[in-house]
Amino acid sequence: MPATRQQLFDRLDALGIAHKTVDHPPVFTVEEGEGIKADMPGGHTKNLFLADKKGALVLVSALGETQIPVNRLHRHLGCARFSFGKPELMEEVLGVTPGSVTAFALINDTQGRVRFVLDAALTRHDPVNFHPLSNDATTAVSCEDLIRFAEDTGHTVEIVDFDRLRDEAGAAQ
């Protein structure tokens, strides 16, 4: 059974992580959330659930404006070419549905199947904002606490500078 929003908040509380949540209508894209973000400080995120042909799974949490060169990321991480993970697999591993992908879903990956990649640009924001397991709310925590939460779920945080990765891809062409 995937964790509920309350179970997520209980975990944050147990870790001493301050969090603030704003309820809002469901949003499915970064663009749909623009009006909501205007009233919430900090870095707003987009999250991608990626899979390669060999079974590697990656959750990318990035600043909403960051361009993620998915066609280069697999090489950087030492994986086969990525595609977006199937919704059924996302639900099985992370316990969330498309539109609700979030770093907080790491709470549901108890088998450690997912690599967690965090955008370097996002680490420069405080707080950082993520859906609390569903896309009808946004929860803010400090970036430092997000990293602590991820590590507490058993996940290593891999920080990637997507701007540099994109620039390297452009220079190689």
Question: Tell me, what's the pLDDT at 19?
Answer: 98
Residue 154 has pLDDT above 60, yes or no: yes
Question: Tell me, what's the pLDDT at 170?
Answer: 63
pLDDT band at 169 (very low <50, low <70, confident <90, very high): low
Question: What gap in Å lies between CA 70 and CA 76, rounded to an integer?
Answer: 10
Question: What gap in Å lies between CA 105 and CA 111, rounded to an integer?
Answer: 13
Question: Tell me, what's the pLDDT at 18?
Answer: 98
Question: Tell me, what's the pLDDT at 33?
Answer: 72
pLDDT (tens digit, 9 = 90+) per residue, 17-74?
A: 999 999 998 887 767 777 777 788 999 999 999 999 999 999 999 999 999 999 899 9
pLDDT (tens digit, 9 = 90+) per residue, 92-142?
A: 999 999 999 999 999 999 999 999 999 999 999 999 999 999 999 999 999
**CATH code assigned at 141:** 3.90.960.10
Question: Residue 62, SS3?
Answer: strand
Domain count, the chain: 1
Question: Tell me, what's the pLDDT at 171?
Answer: 59
Question: Tell me, what's the pLDDT at 32?
Answer: 75
**First and final C-alpha spacing in the chain:** 46
CB-based burial of residue 165 (10 Å sphere; 0-12 exposed, 13-18 middle, 19+ buried)? Answer: middle
Question: Tell me, what's the pLDDT at 141?
Answer: 98
Question: Tell me, what's the pLDDT at 172?
Answer: 56
Q: Could you tell me the residue range of the domain that residue 136 belongs to?
A: 5-172
- The pTM (predicted TM-score) of the whole model is 0.93
Query: What's the rounded mean pLDDT across residues 140-164?
Result: 97
Question: Tell me, what's the pLDDT at 151?
Answer: 98
Residue 162 has pLDDT above 60, yes or no: yes
